[in-house]
Structure 1
Amino acid sequence: MNYHRVAHLNRQDVRIDEITIHSFEMGVYLVEALFDSRKGFIVDDKDRPQQFHSVEEVKQALTECMVRQAFLVHQSAYDEMCGGPEKVDNTLRLAVHFSNKGE
């Protein structure tokens, strides 16, 4: 399984192809990065997915590198009601702008 660390990504010479910020309940955000043809989650020093508490915190963690495109993704569980219609894909995917140096 691929993974990345903020310290390895947040450098001026790094060009990240795509960032996906996964939004979960209780204000937890996990970040998946496509860099150097490897897609993987950003992990902490103990190799656990690093938790962020806002999109702004993700942006602040990656201020030095170049991010080509980024998306915030959220899936709602509120369509899982008893007797309701079959579950449909209700994924919300929004573009997020990163202020990149050298733009």
Structure 2
Amino acid sequence: MQVKELQSVFSFEKVVIHALAPNLYQVSVMMDGEEVFLLDGKGKFLTSHNKQDLQELFKDKQVGAMVLRHQSAYDEMVGQPTRESTNCLEVPIGTL
């Protein structure tokens, strides 16, 4: 979904701010049970070094939940076997 399309959508089930690295974030939204990443004007994943900038995109929207998601590479780094389930942490955060 292009970021400019946000203007025409007023309600989201869930907004996910993905923590990729220290101070690097991407954003996806859940709509009709499907997770969709936001893209910039050039068709690339929308990223920011400030998670509040991404939260600000939804300040006038109805959001069921907003979370910060981090997927850890720790198991892989210490030689643990591949998990059958995800190694993901989601923390609820508020909207601005």
Give the TM-score, by structure 1 length: 0.73
- How high is the sequence identity, in percent, across the aligned residues? 25
What residue ranges of structure 2 are gaps of 5+ in the alignment?
none
Q: Residue 80 of structure 1: SS of its match in structure 2? A: helix
Q: 1:94 matched to which residue of 2?
A: 91
Change (3 A) 1:53 1:10: farther
Give the AA of the match of 2:53.
Answer: E
24, 29, 32: which one aligns with 1:33: 29
Give the AA of the match of 1:78.
Answer: Y
**Contact 2:3–2:41, Cα closer than 8 Å, also in 1:** no
Question: Over aligned residue pairs, what C-alpha RMSD do you find?
Answer: 2.2
Structure 1 stretches of 4+ moved >4 Å = none
Task: Tell me whether 1:6 sits opposite 2:19 in the alignment.
Answer: no
76, 80, 87: which one aligns with 1:80: 76
Greater CA radius of gyration, 1 or 2?
Answer: 1
Give the TM-score, by structure 2 length: 0.77
Q: 1:20 matched to which residue of 2?
A: 16
Task: Tell me whether 1:43 sits opposite 2:39 in the alignment.
Answer: yes
Residues paired across the two proteins, number: 93
What residue ranges of structure 1 are gaps of 5+ in the alignment?
none
